[in-house]
Amino acid sequence: MASSRLKRVEESATIKVANIANKLRQEGTDVISFSLGEPDFDTPKNICDAAADAMYRGETHYTPSAGIPQLRDAIAEKLRTENGLDVNGSDVLVTPGAKQAIFEIMMTVLDDGDEAILFDPAWVSYNSAIRFAGADTVWVPTDTHDNFKPLDLEEYITDKTRIIVVNTPGNPTGAVYDRDTLKNIADIAIDHDVLVLSDEIYEKIIYDREHISLGSMEGMQDRTITVNGFSKAYAMTGWRLGYVCARPDIFQGMLKIQSHSVSSATSFVQYGGLEALQGPQEPVTEMVNKFKARRDVLVKGLNDIGIKCQTPGGAFYAFADVSEFGNGDEISEKLLVDAHVAVTPGSAFGDSGRDFIRISYAASKERIKEGLSRIESALT
């Protein structure tokens, strides 16, 4: 009885692996999970206190569908000062998570038969959202030896292309695109009159690199739909709070979808988001420093085993080449069964990932070291 629309969409591979790992844990197995993209830190106390205070003073009712004005204004201020975007609070839509924003974007800008461009490999839910909207995904290969930069992007643009999806820092690779790479994407988007979705959810989890917002580049203000949120930078995954800014016609389309579906983000959660932006930022810096230390342990350990792995410039993922030992699907299964280490097969993120596995280092250094030891024992 499932609709044809639903049949276009596959189960999330990351969630599938996490569910298997959880089942093994329930059976008493000590599974080290490197599969989910979730910081293992608690949400900072000041954010929790702000949400609780809002709840207890009665902020538990419907809010405007686009979000409470205070949060929209604070987000706009952040985007102006940190990202160089010329936006006001009225340009900002607060959503129940960045994933909801991406879904709303695809449903707003894509029609049946349209094309959307993804850089292979890409986060699993982009393709699902594109296909759910009735459009076709066009996969552009990337240079797996050079920061996963897109190759020959312009060759894949057709008269059906409506949007290019850019994610930097990126999932699953951790790649951070430099200004030249982004300038090339922007020039192509302008020349061919297509939109760009700039997913910047990992912007603050970046190591010795510069984050550049595509929407700040010349000619890209009205062409870029910027998505961000609180899940990664502030360890607020379960809070489900994201945001998007877009030009008025796209904004109104997204707002229509939101008002008829999820209505709005949770009322008191929005006050937690307000505190996240306006409160102390030291917890973010501390978390990023710990992620960097974990990254260094993991990448060195993988390369010592013989698993080729570039050093990611951001996010908290390593995209590791396991072709010396098998393909990504085989190795993922072997590690889960033989070593009780859960990773995500690279094929979940596109055809170019078939020889890779994604490892999330959102785990303590002790667990990472134990995981590396188990991986080495299983493969060597």
pLDDT exceeding 90 applies to what percent of the chain? 89
pLDDT band at 70 (very low <50, low <70, confident <90, very high): very high
Give the per-residue pLDDT at 143. Answer: 95
More confidently predicted of 221 and 36: 221
Rounded CA separation 337/31 (Å) = 10
Q: How confident is the model at residue 13 (pLDDT cuts 50, 70, 90)?
A: low
pLDDT value of residue 330: 93
pLDDT at residue 36 in the model: 80
Element (H, E) at 379: helix 365-379
Q: Which two tokens stand for residue 100?
A: 């909801």
* Local confidence band at 312 (pLDDT 50, 70, 90 cut-offs): very high
What is the set of domains in the chain, with CATH numbers? 4-43+282-379 (3.90.1150.10), 61-278 (3.40.640.10)
What is d(CA 355, CA 357) in angstroms, rounded to the nearest whole number? Answer: 7
What was the pLDDT predicted at 9? 74
Each residue's pLDDT tens digit, 204-216:
999 999 999 999 9
pLDDT at 271 over 80: yes
In angstroms, the CA 182 to CA 70 distance is 32
pLDDT of residue 7: 76
Amino acid present at 246: A
Per-residue pLDDT, 28: 85
Q: Does the pLDDT at position 64 exceed 70?
A: yes
The sign of the dihedral angle between the CA atoms of 353, 354, 356, 362 is positive
Helix (H) or strand (E) holding 342: strand 341-342
pLDDT of residue 12: 65
What confidence tier does 14 reach under pLDDT thresholds 50, 70, 90?
A: low
Distance CA 4, CA 112 (A): 13
d(CA 251, CA 305): 49
- The strand pairing partners of 242, in sequence order, are 95, 229
Q: Indicate if the pLDDT at residue 309 is higher than 80.
A: yes
For the chain, the average pLDDT equals 95
The predicted pLDDT at position 22 comes to 78
pLDDT at 1 over 70: no
Residue 21 has pLDDT above 80, yes or no: no
pLDDT digits (tens, 9 = 90+) for 83-104: 999 999 999 999 999 999 999 9
Task: Dump pLDDT digits (tens) for 24-55.
Answer: 878 888 999 898 888 899 999 999 999 999 99
Question: Which tops the pLDDT comparison, 14 or 200?
Answer: 200
Q: Tens digit of pLDDT for each residue in 231-256?
A: 999 999 999 999 999 999 999 999 99
What is the C-alpha end-to-end distance of the chain, expressed in Å? 47
CA dist., res. 334 & res. 294, Å (int): 24
